Amino acid sequence: MENKTFDVVVVGAGPGGCVAAKKCGKAGLRTLLLEKKKLPRDKVCSGMIMGYWAKNLVKDEFGDIPAHVLTGTYRGVTLHTGRNNSITIPAVIPVGWRKNLDYWMCQKATEAGTEVLDAVSINRIVYTEGKYQFDLRKGKDTETVYGRFVIGADGAFSQVRHTFWPDLNIESRAALRECYQGPLKIEKDHFHWFFPRVSPSPRFAVNYKEDHFLIEGGGIKHLRNEIQDIMMSYGLPFEAKPLWRDGCGIASLYNILLDESFLPAKQNVLLVGDAAGLLLPFTQEGIGSALKSGAYAAESVIKALAGIGTAQQYYLGKLREMMRVLKELRTLQLKMAEIAPKGAEALSEAMASFIDKTVNE
C-alpha cells in the first residue's frame, strides 16, 4: 500500500460494510475495507434474506445472487408455540451460509475498486490533523493508514463505536448455534421457530442448509432440556453430537437509539448495521438494515466529499425513516410479551402477524 490516505475507511466486511465499500469504490472514492477475520469468514446467522430492505438492496446493489452463493429458498416460517400449536406464514426467503453471501458481496466491492485488507487488527483509531489514523497489525507486520471518513460496520461489539462512543451502556446476550448432519422429520424448506415456554423468549430456531441442520438462537442455553425433548420428537437421537458449535453476542441498543440519546454518527464517523444497533426487534433480522444503512452511509460520504453538506447530517436524516420502522416493530415486540400470558394460540397469532409484516411487506 503506497499512498496510505483514503477518502474512506470502512471497518467490517459484513453486508453493511460491503455495500458501503462497494458504493464508495464505484463513486471513485479511494476506499479501504478492513476485516478482522480471514476472508471468507462465516457468521452465526440463519442467513435468510428476508424483508424488502434485504431483498431489494441485494438485487439493486449487487445484482442477482448466483446459485452457488445460496443453499436454497425457504417457502415459509413455521412457529411452534408450546407443545401443540403450530402455524405457518408462507413466504419466499432465499437462504445461504453467510460465509458465501458476504464474500460474494465483498468481491463486488473489490471489483468496484475498493482495497480490502483482511485478517487485520486495529490497534487504535485516533483523530489527528483532520483525518482518522488507524494503527494496524497483520500477522507480525504493523502499518498505519488514514481515512477522511470512517464507516463503522464492525458488528454488534463494534470497535469503532467503542472508540468514539466510549460511555455507551450496551445490553448484550449470547447467541449459540449447533450444526448437525442427517435427516430430521421436519419440513426442510421451512424456517422453524420454537417457543416452548409460550413466551417470545427464550426461543430457538431449526433450519436446514444443504444436508446440515442448525439449532440456534439467543438464550438457548436456558432451553437445553426442552430442545432435547423437542428434537427427539423430530427424530434426533438422544446421543447425537453436533459437528460443531459456535456462538456470538447480540447487542441491544434500542432504548438509547430510539429515544435518540445515541445518534450513530459523529463528525465524519458513521455507524451502520449492528454497530449502530439497527437489528430489527423480535425477528433479529439485520442483513436488510445493515445493507440499507450501509448504502446511506456511502451516499452521505459521497455527498460530503462533493461539498453538499456534512455526512453526519445527511446520514442522520436518512436514518429517520429506518427509525420509524424500528420504533413500530419495537412497540409490537413489547406488545407480544403482554399477549403471552393469554396462551399459545394468542401468542402464536400475534407473532405470525408480526413475522408476516416483517417478511412479506
Ligand X SMILES: Cc1cc2nc3c(=O)[nH]c(=O)nc-3n(C[C@H](O)[C@H](O)[C@H](O)COP(=O)(O)OP(=O)(O)OC[C@H]3O[C@@H](n4cnc5c(N)ncnc54)[C@H](O)[C@@H]3O)c2cc1C
Q: Decide if residue 300 touches ligand X (CB under 6 A).
A: no
Residue (33 or 230) nearer to ligand X, CB: 33
Q: Which of 9, 54, 116, 336 binds ligand X (CB under 6 A)?
A: 54
**Distance between CA atoms of 153 and 291, rounded to whole angstroms?**
10
Within a 13 Å sphere around the CA of 3, how many CA atoms are in the beta-carbon half?
6
Distance, CA of 138 to chain centre:
25
Q: Which of 11, 91, 101, 136 binds ligand X (CB under 6 A)?
A: 11
Q: Which of 279, 301, 326, 359 binds ligand X (CB under 6 A)?
A: 279
Q: Decide if residue 41 touches ligand X (CB under 6 A).
A: yes
Mind giving me the DSSP string for 268-290?
TEEE-GGGGT-PPTTT---HHHH
**Distance between CA atoms of 161 and 310, rounded to whole angstroms?**
19
Q: Where are the alpha helices (DSSP H) in 137-188?
A: 159-164
Give whole-number Cα distances, 301 to 90, 145, 164, 248, in Å.
39, 18, 18, 30
Smallest gap from residue 341 Cβ to ligand X (A): 26
Q: Decide if residue 264 touches ligand X (CB under 6 A).
A: no
Residue 218 pairs with which residues in a beta bridge?
175
Q: Which of residues 170-189 bind ligand X (CB under 6 A)?
A: 175
Smallest gap from residue 255 Cβ to ligand X (A): 18
Q: Decide if residue 290 touches ligand X (CB under 6 A).
A: yes
C-alpha cell at 108: 463486488
**Distance between CA atoms of 53 and 216, rounded to whole angstroms?**
24
Q: Which of 106, 131, 286, 336 binds ligand X (CB under 6 A)?
A: 286
Q: Decide if residue 216 touches ligand X (CB under 6 A).
A: yes
Q: Which of residues 319-358 bind ligand X (CB under 6 A)?
A: none
Q: Per CB under 6 A, which region of 20-28, 74-82, 238-246, 285-293 contacts ligand X?
A: 285-293
Rg of the chain, C-alpha, whole Å: 21
Residue (40 or 196) nearer to ligand X, CB: 40
Residue number of the CB closest to ligand X reads 286
What sign does the CA torsion over 111, 115, 120, 121 have?
negative
Residue (174 or 308) nearer to ligand X, CB: 174
Q: Decide if residue 122 touches ligand X (CB under 6 A).
A: yes
Smallest gap from residue 287 Cβ to ligand X (A): 3
Total of residues contacting ligand X (CB under 6 A): 40
CB 296 within 8 Å of CB 319: yes
User: 40 preceded by cis ω (within 30°)?
Assistant: yes
C-alpha cell at 291: 445493507
Q: Map residue 261 onto helix, strand or coil.
A: coil
Q: Per CB under 6 A, which region of 79-87, 131-139, 153-161, 337-345 contacts ligand X?
A: 153-161
Q: Map residue 87 onto helix, strand or coil.
A: strand
Q: Decide if residue 58 touches ligand X (CB under 6 A).
A: no
Binding site for ligand X (CB under 6 A): 11-17, 34-37, 41, 43-48, 50, 54, 122, 153-155, 159, 175, 216-217, 248, 250, 273-275, 279, 284-288, 290
